[in-house]
Amino acid sequence: MTNFFKGSRMKPGPKTKYEQFQEWLDRCPVEITNYKDYSTEFEINFEVPLERDEASRLTHLTSYDTPDDMW
């Protein structure tokens, strides 16, 4: 993932929250399938492959359900 601020600083001093977020996103270990930067809001989709045996455990969930042990 490459972003506008990578490799350049607009001003000296502490990094902004935006710059910190972009650096974190650059190190993200999963595939980013959609990324839209609206400056104050982001739209990001990640593809996170299921671990072995996770598919059967998560079969009956909707997008609003979360297993108790997921977080």
User: What is the value of pTM for the model shown?
Assistant: 0.49
Identify the band that residue 39 occupies on the pLDDT scale cut at 50, 70 and 90: confident
Check pLDDT > 60 for residue 2.
Answer: no
Give 51's pLDDT tier (boundaries 50, 70, 90).
confident
Q: Where are the domains of the chain?
A: 1-71
Place of tokens 């492959």: 49
Q: What are phi and psi of 43, to 5 degrees?
A: -120, 115
For the segment 52-67, the average pLDDT, to the nearest whole number, is 62
